[in-house]
Amino acid sequence: MRSSNLGYPRIGQNREWKKAIEAYWAGKLEEQELHSELESIRLGNLKLQQEQGIDLIPVNDFTYYDHVLDTAVMFGLVPSRFAWTGGQVDLATYYAIARGNKEATASEMTKWFNTNYHYIVPEITADLQPVLTVNRPLEAYREAKTKLGIEGKPVLLGLFTLLKLSKGYEAEQFSAWVDRLLPLYGQVLAELEREGVQWVQIDEPALVATLTSEELAEVQHIYGSLSKQLSGLKVLVQTYFEAVDHYKEIVALPVQGIGLDFVHDRGQNLRSVLEQGFPGDKVLGAGVIDGRGIWKSDLAAKLELLDALKQKVAADRLLVQPSSSLLHVPVTAAQEQKLDPVLQDALAFANEKITELVLLTQAGRKGASAVSAELAAADRGRKALQQSPARNKTAVRQRTAEAAAQPAERTADVETRRKLQQDKFQLPLLPTTTIGSFPQTPEVRSARLKWRKGEWSPQRYETFIKEQIQDWIRIQEELELDVLVHGEFERTDMVEFFGEKLEGFAFTSLGWVQSYGSRCVKPPIIYGDIEFTAPMTVAETVYAQSLTQAPVKGMLTGPVTILNWSFVRDDLSREEVAYQIALALREEVEALEAAGIGMIQVDEPALREGLPLKREQWPHYLDWAVKAFRLSTTTVKDETQIHTHMCYSEFNDIIEAISALDADVISIETSRSHGELIESFEKYTYDKGIGLGVYDIHSPRVPAVEEMTSMIDRALRVLKPSQFWINPDCGLKTRKDEETVLALRNMVEATRLSREKYGVKA
C-alpha cells in the first residue's frame, strides 16, 4: 500500500503566489523575478510532501493562473483574436487570454464542476491548428527530479475532459477534435516514457458525469489509442467529485490504474468495487480523504473502508489518496491560533490531510496498532466538536424544521407586484444600476486593517466608511444611474462579512483558497447551528439612502451562496444548513424593509455551482435551493422589490428554477460568455425583470459604447424593454476607480442611445 496525492494548493501559505503574480501585472516585478518566486513556491510545495512521506507526489499541478488554461495553450488552442504566431505561448498572451487586454476580450470563465474554483474555458474553433507548444508535464518532472530528487507523478488534464470543458465547436465535431488532439497527447506521453517517468496521472473528472454510449465509446477510443503507443509508462486515469456510472467499462480501460472518489460517491463506487470486483492487473487509487472538506477524517472508518477494498484489491495495488486535488482547501491549520481550541482540533487542511494519508498508509502496512495514538487523538478532536453546545441548539433545529414544512411564497403574483413597484419607484424604462460593490482601493483595505488591528477606533472607521459612501453616491448621481448602491466598502468578502455577524460561523486567519486566477477567498467555516443576532447591513444602507432621492438597494448574500462558498459542517445535510441560513437572512431582509429600504438584492451567484454532477439529482437540489432563497425573501410587502444576481455559470438548463426564485429582478452575467445566455430567452418566456450584464468587470479594459449597445440590441430582440435592466456583469470591487467610472459612463451612454433607438424616453 502506498500514499499518493492528486494536487496541492498553489497559492503559498501566505498567498505569496497571488502577491507575486499581481506584482508582475502591476509592473512591479520583472518576468524573470516572477519565474523565480513561483519556482520557490512550487519547489517548497513538493519538498513538504516529500518530507511528509508521500510516495507518489504530483508534479505539473502548479500553474501561473489556471490548469485548464495551461493545457489549452500547451496544445496551441489560442483564440485568433490574441494574434499568437506560434511557439511557446508567452506570458503576455497567456494572461491576455485569462484577463483580456486593450485589443481583445478575455476568454470565458466558469466553474470547475461543482466546486468554488473557476477555470478559463478553452475556445476550440475550426481555424485552430493544434500543436504541442511545450511539454509542461515533462518540464515539471525534470525540475522535481533534478532539484529535489523526487520521482514525480506528472499530472495532465485528460483529452475527454478538456473537450467537454471547451466551447466553440459543434457536438457532431467532438470525434474529429478527439482525433486532432490525440496525437499531441500521444506525443506528451511518449516523451514522458522516454524520460523514464514511472506513473502519469491523467485527470478525467468528466467521467463521473452522465455519459452517453457515444461518449463512452470516445473514452475507450482515446485510451485504446494511447495504450498502443506506450510500453513502460504507467497511466492512472483519475476521476473525482462523484461516482462513475459506467464502472465496468471505466475500470476495463487499457491503463494501469484507475482513481475513484470514495468520499463524494454516496457509496456507489464502493458498491461497484465490492459487487463487480476490480481488475487484478490494475492499481486502484482510493480517494478516501476528503479533498474538499476541512474536517479531520474519522480515520477508524477510513481504515474500515480500506479493509473493505482489500477484499477485492490486493494491498500492494492500493494507493491511499485524497478524493480530489487539495487545491480546494487552505494550506495548513497549524497557524490558526485564534480559533476556539475545540474547533481548531477538528480541522484538517492540506498539510493535515497529507498527514492523514501517510497515517492511513502506515496503518495499512503495519496495522492500526502502529499508529493507535494518532488515531485516538484525531477521534477526540472530532467528538469534542460534535458534542459542543454550538452544534446542539434545539430551538434553531425546531424552527428550521417548521419552516421547511411550510410553503414560502409572496402574497401577490409578479404582475401585481410590478405595477405596485413601478408606482412606488417611477423608474424609466431600461433602468440602470450596478451589482453592488465599488472599488476596494488600497485606502479602503488599509483603513479596514487599521481598524481590525485596533489602530483606528470604531468611530474613526465608521467616519471613513461614510466618506466612501458619500463619494460614490455623488459619483452615481453624476453618472445618472437610476438605482444606486452604497458600495459595500465595509465588507471584505461577500460571504465572510455576513458570517462574521451570524452565530455558528468561524473564521480563519490564513485559510485562503484560490477561487479564480489570483483571486483568493477565505471561506467561513460553518461549524454550528446558525442564528441571527443583530442587523448587519441596515446602518450603511440607510445612511446611503439619506444622501439621495434615488432608490438605494440593500445588498445581501443569499443562503445558497453562503452555503456553497463556505466550508460546511459534515454532520447535517446541506439542505438543513441552507434553511438555517435562510431564516437568519430573513430577519435581515425584514429589518431593511422596516428601515425604509424598498429594494433589497439577495445575491445567489453560486446557486448553479451546487448542482450535482448527475442530472437525476438536480431536481432535489434545485427544489431546496429555491426554497432556501424564498424562505429569506418572501415575507416582504408586495411593493418591496426583491433583486438577485448570478454570475459565471451556464443557466440555460435551469432557467425554470431561476424563475421559480420569484425575484422581481434578476441580473445575470452574459458579456463574458458573449451573449450566449440570451438564447435561453429565445426559448423560454421570462416574465420578471432581468438585467443581462453588458460588460465584463473581470477585465481591466473599458468597453466601448458600441459593444454595450450591441449587447442591449441582442437582448431586446427576445426581452421586452419594460422588463430589461442595464448593469455590469458583477460587482466592481476588484476594479480601479478611474476604469469603473469610465465604464459606467459608457454604460449610461449606451442606455441613452438604446432608449432613443427604441423610442423610449428617460
Segment 656-708, tens digit of pLDDT:
899 999 999 999 877 655 556 667 777 777 889 999 888 888 778 899 999 99
The top-scoring range by mean pLDDT among 239-243, 296-300, 492-496 is 239-243
Name, in order, each residue with C-beta under 8 angstroms of 6's C-beta and a sequence gap of 6 or more: 58, 61, 155, 201, 203, 238, 240, 259, 285, 287, 291, 321, 322, 324, 325, 326
264 among known catalytic residues:
no
- Biggest CA pair distance of the chain: 80
Residue 417: per-residue pLDDT = 97
Annotated binding site for L-homocysteine: 435-437, 488, 603
Reported as a pLDDT band with limits 50, 70 and 90, residue 719 is confident
Segment 256-285, tens digit of pLDDT:
999 999 999 999 999 999 999 999 999 999
Alpha carbon distance 760, 752 (integer Å): 9
Segment 124-168, tens digit of pLDDT:
999 999 999 999 999 999 999 999 999 999 999 999 999 999 999
For residues 757 and 31, which has the higher predicted lDDT (pLDDT)? 31
What φ, ψ does residue 529 adopt, rounded to 5°? -70, 145
Alpha carbon distance 258, 208 (integer Å): 13
Q: What integer is the mean pLDDT of 298-325? A: 96
Catalytic residue among 118, 246, 643, 698: 698
201, 154 contact by CB (below 8 A): yes
For residues 368 and 454, which has the higher predicted lDDT (pLDDT)? 454
- Calculate the average pLDDT of the chain: 94
Proportion of the chain in helix, strand, coil states, percent, rounded to 5: 45, 15, 40
pLDDT at 207 over 70: yes
What are the cell numbers at 626? 429555491
What are the cell numbers at 125? 474553433
Name, in order, each residue with C-beta under 8 angstroms of 453's C-beta and a sequence gap of 6 or more: none
Reported as a pLDDT band with limits 50, 70 and 90, residue 205 is very high
- Taking residue 124's Cβ as centre, other Cβ atoms within 10 Å add up to 22
Alpha carbon distance 298, 359 (integer Å): 12
Using a pLDDT cut of 70, give the percent of the chain over it: 98
Q: Which run of H or of E encompasses 56?
A: none
CA 96 to chain centre: 21
- Taking residue 710's Cβ as centre, other Cβ atoms within 10 Å add up to 14
Which domains does the chain show, CATH number per domain? 56-328 (3.20.20.210)
Residue 673: per-residue pLDDT = 58
Name, in order, each residue with C-beta under 8 angstroms of 661's C-beta and a sequence gap of 6 or more: 604, 626, 629, 630, 644
Annotated binding site for L-methionine: 435-437, 488, 603
Q: Which run of H or of E encompasses 567?
A: strand 567-568
Annotated binding site for Zn(2+): 645, 647, 669, 730
Q: What is the DSSP letter of 642?
A: E
CA 278 to chain centre: 33
Nearest-10 Cα torsion for 622, 627, 628, 634: 140
Q: What integer is the mean pLDDT of 281-296? A: 97
468, 487 contact by CB (below 8 A): yes
What φ, ψ does residue 82 adopt, rounded to 5°? -95, 5
Residue 68: per-residue pLDDT = 98
665, 691 contact by CB (below 8 A): yes
Nearest-10 Cα torsion for 570, 573, 579, 581: 10
Alpha carbon distance 156, 147 (integer Å): 21
Segment 120-136, tens digit of pLDDT:
999 999 999 999 999 99
Using a pLDDT cut of 90, give the percent of the chain over it: 86
CA 22 to chain centre: 20
240, 6 contact by CB (below 8 A): yes
Across 721-736, b (16+ Cβ under 10 Å) vs e yields eebbbbbbbbbbbebe
Please provide the size of the chain in residues.
762
Q: Are strands 199-203 and 153-157 parallel, antiparallel or unpaired?
A: parallel
Reported as a pLDDT band with limits 50, 70 and 90, residue 762 is very low
User: What radius of gyration, in Å, describes the C-alpha atoms of the chain?
Assistant: 26
Alpha carbon distance 281, 256 (integer Å): 7
What do you get for the CA distance between the two ends of the chain, in Å? 72
Alpha carbon distance 209, 160 (integer Å): 12
Q: Which run of H or of E encompasses 756?
A: helix 737-757
Alpha carbon distance 327, 113 (integer Å): 14
Q: Which run of H or of E encompasses 744?
A: helix 737-757
β-sheet with 153-157: strand ranges across: 2-3, 318-322, 283-289, 257-261, 234-238, 199-203, 153-157, 58-59
346, 299 contact by CB (below 8 A): no
Name, in order, each residue with C-beta under 8 angstroms of 61's C-beta and a sequence gap of 6 or more: 6, 7, 8, 10, 67, 155, 325, 327
123, 79 contact by CB (below 8 A): yes
For residues 521 and 456, which has the higher predicted lDDT (pLDDT)? 456
Across 385-413, b (16+ Cβ under 10 Å) vs e yields beeeebeebeebeebbeebbeeebebeee
Amino acid at 646: M
Alpha carbon distance 598, 128 (integer Å): 51
Of 621, 482, 636, the closest CA to residue 556 belongs to: 636
What φ, ψ does residue 199 adopt, rounded to 5°? -125, 140
Amino acid at 730: C
